Amino acid sequence: MKLNDFEKWYFDLKGYFVIKKAVPKKDIINMRRIAKSWFDSSNNLPKPIHRNFNSPAAKFLYNFHYVEKYFENLVLNKKILRFINGIQKKNTRVYDVALAKSTKEDSETKLHSGFEGGFQDPNQQFIVANNDIFASFVNVGVSLVDIPDNLGFTCVPGSHKGNFKIPKNITLYDDSPTVANVPIESGDAIVFTPLLRHGARKWTENFPRYTVFMRFIYAKQFHSNDSDRWLPHEKYKKNISQELYELESRDQGQRAKLETFLKNNGIF
């Protein structure tokens, strides 16, 4: 299913798009409860969940969607997949899924990325042609908590297709219109190209921020950087559905189950 004219126009103009209420509140409540229990007992996590608490901005868990069905269903969310599939020509692949927790003790994530002219990396390219858009790599963030207006998704709108050096004095805390702070409610999904200059302000609330991040690439391309964290995990493939396993795999003409799932949900 293709993006509609407004979605194409907005994503091209801004470099991001918010899918409001992409995930039902009852699912969000359950995922938040499960996330809290995992972080509270991070020394005794079920396999194959992997943790990385080295970042100064957040603590991360990986592979958790191999353990809890709520998170598998999130990766297969039809509202999100419809949008991603529209950007990636009905041929998307999820290769990384992370659960992040931020508290007042954590630092900000400084503004990073942003296109400044020249040739684009094919693994992260953004193209507009023939009244359509294509991005070989897109990020998705789904918040499990309501985000205060001043702490939303922070970015420099349109910076995914700039042609000049981004001024060094632009910071996370600059005001609109140069820097946008996009309000996000629990269950909303924000889709953005990693070419967009973006970051996250320091979390200041008394409750933790939980976010599920998913990274999607065009399924027929190789990933440019190798990592033992990239999906799928063959050893645990029986933990997930065949549809999800195929969504995590490169497209080598063997994605029949996934294509049936997408067609049945009006996505393909």
Q: For the segment 171-198, what is each residue's pLDDT rounded down to a tens digit?
A: 999 999 999 999 999 999 999 999 999 9
Q: Given this model, what pLDDT does residue 231 score?
A: 83
Q: Given this model, what pLDDT does residue 131 score?
A: 93
Positions of E strands within the chain: 16-19, 50-52, 59-62, 92-102, 109-112, 126-129, 132-135, 137-143, 153-155, 180-182, 189-192, 198-200, 209-218
Residue 156, helix vs strand vs coil? coil
pLDDT of residue 267 exceeding 80, the answer is no
pLDDT of residue 57 exceeding 80, the answer is yes
Q: Which residues contact 154 (CB under 8 A, 6 or more apart)?
A: 111, 172, 179, 180, 181, 182, 198, 199, 200, 201
For 5-264, the fitting CATH number among 2.60.120.10, 2.60.120.620, 3.40.50.740, 3.30.1490.190 is 2.60.120.620
Is the whole model's pTM more than 0.75, yes or no?
A: yes
pLDDT of residue 50 exceeding 80, the answer is yes
Per-residue pLDDT tens for 127-141? 999 999 999 999 999
Per-residue pLDDT tens for 192-230? 999 999 999 999 999 999 999 999 999 887 665 566 677
